[in-house]
Amino acid sequence: MTMMDSHRSNFYEKRIGPDFLVYWIRVSSFVVWLLLGTFFLITDMARPEQTTFFDRLFDVSRRTVWDEQMMVISFIVAVVLFFFSLLSLIINTRRLKRKTDHISISLVISLIVSTLSILLYIAYALNNMSSLY
C-alpha cells in the first residue's frame, strides 16, 4: 500500500449530488423548451387565419394579415430566449471539466432558433416599414 492509497482511504467525499452549474444546465434546458414552445404558440396565433368552407358559406370575414401585437410579443419572447440560451450556454461551456460533461444540444438549438426568429422579425419589420413610405 502506498502513501497515496492510505491517504485516499481516509478521504471523505464532500461532494453530494450535482453542483449548482449542473443543476442550472438541467433546469435551463427545461426552461428553454418552455420558452420555445411559448414562442411557437404565440407565433402561430399571430399568423393570418385560414379561410374554411364554412367561412365562405356563411360569409365570415377572417384576418388576412399577421397580428402585429402578437408578433411583438413573439419577438420579445425570442429575445428573452436568445439571452437566456446564450447565458446558459456560456455557463455550460465553463463546466466542461469532467469526462461526463457535455454541451447541451437543447441550448444550441434554442440559440439558433431564437437568432433566426429575431432576424426574420427584423426583416419583416423593415419590409413593413418601407411599405409605409
Using an 8 Å Cβ cutoff, are 110 and 81 in contact? yes
Structural contact between residues 78 and 117, judged by C-beta atoms closer than 8 angstroms: yes
pLDDT tens for 66-92 read: 899 999 999 999 999 999 999 999 999
**Are the beta carbons of 103 and 111 closer than 8 angstroms?**
no
| 118-130 pLDDT tens trace | 999 999 889 887 7
pTM: 0.78
CA distance 21 to 82: 19
Question: Do residues 66 and 47 lie in contact, with contact meaning Cβ atoms separated by under 8 Å?
Answer: yes
